[in-house]
Amino acid sequence: LVLTVVQTILLRLVGLPWYDALITAFGAAGTGGFSNRAASIGAYGSPAVEMITAVFMVLFGINFNVYFFLLIRHFKEAFACEEMRVYLGVIAASTLAVAGNIFHLYGNVWQSLRYSFFQVASIITTTGYATTDFNMWPTFSKAVLVLLMFCGSCSSSTGGGIKCARVLILLRILRREVRRIAHPRCVEVIKMDGRVVESSTIRGTLVFLGCYMLILLAAGLIISLDGYSFSISFSSALASLSNVGPGLELVGPTGNFSLLSPLSKLTMSLCMVTGRLEIFPILVLFSRAVWRHT
């Protein structure tokens, strides 16, 4: 509530009407990306509006437990959050990489960083706001944005996607298994924020990632029946499952999903609900054992 109110006031101070400021703040707070302008945030053409919105998208993508620790003045625990550091590090690295890749399109460093930071923040937090058509960007920049769609924001935030915590756990699992191959007798535990990650959490993370990929591939396969390109079919499924919004090409930031078939739209609707509920509740809902038990 506090973050939403602060963002609304800041947007009003830089020239947005109260109505537009509220809509934009609500869209950032819920990382939903809804705008009352067809051109999204790009309609305002204001660097101040873009930077305020981008910063608050990033803030809403941070684990809210960090804010709780800050409120109770446990600053050490707040800044010790590894997921937050990875999240902010990915944003910084992606912004610089994309800015360098699109520099030739805009001609100066400020413009490149401006558009890069906003789109990186919008995609990794799964908000979906846009200030430019990133379909016109080089393939490398679009590939970075697709990877950010997978990653998503922090756990216990308003964002979607796989979540940075799961990605971090997966990388540490891979590192442990590689070390076990080299040193079969070594014993290594996986830790997050200095605490040992329970085996049940590791198992749940791997099952979640497996289910995520299977649902993504199945949805992409169904959408491909419409006959559009692989990038359109795949990005439509990914943007829906990760709750991002815009995909690539036809379904990019300046396009929409209206040309897709009713079957594809139904598939994407199910993906959006499944991704928002973190997959497992939907799988339980369709489990025969659960209904039999009830």
Q: What are phi and psi of 88, to 5 degrees?
A: -70, -35
Q: How far apart are alpha carbons 1 and 158 in whole angstroms? A: 13
- Answer whether residue 293 shows pLDDT above 70: no
Radius of gyration over alpha carbons of the chain, in Å? 20
Q: Is 209 or 291 the better-scoring residue by pLDDT?
A: 209
- Answer whether residue 294 shows pLDDT above 80: no
The answer, as to whether pTM is greater than 0.85, is yes
Give the residue-averaged pLDDT of 119-129.
94
Of 84-88, 179-183, 262-266, where does mean pLDDT reach its minimum?
179-183
Give the residue-averaged pLDDT of 182-207.
88
- Answer whether residue 59 shows pLDDT above 80: yes
* 88 burial via Cβ count (<10 Å: 0-12, 13-18, 19+): middle
pLDDT at 182: 86
| For helices 139-151 and 82-106, angle between their N-to-C axes, nearest 10 degrees | 160
Helices in the chain by DSSP H: which ranges? 2-13, 18-29, 47-60, 64-71, 75-79, 82-106, 109-124, 139-151, 164-182, 199-223, 230-241, 262-276, 280-285, 288-293
Instruction: Identify the CA nearest to 155 among candidates 181, 117, 125.
Output: 125
pLDDT at 286: 79
Q: Is 120 or 195 the better-scoring residue by pLDDT?
A: 120
Q: What are phi and psi of 207, to 5 degrees?
A: -65, -40
Give the residue-averaged pLDDT of 146-170.
92
> Which pLDDT band holds residue 91 (cuts at 50, 70, 90)?
very high
Compute the mean pLDDT over every residue in the chain, rounded to the nearest whole number: 92
- Which DSSP category does 107 fall into? S
- Answer whether residue 179 shows pLDDT above 80: yes
Answer for the pair 78, 154: CB distance below 8 angstroms, yes or no. Answer: no
* 11 burial via Cβ count (<10 Å: 0-12, 13-18, 19+): buried
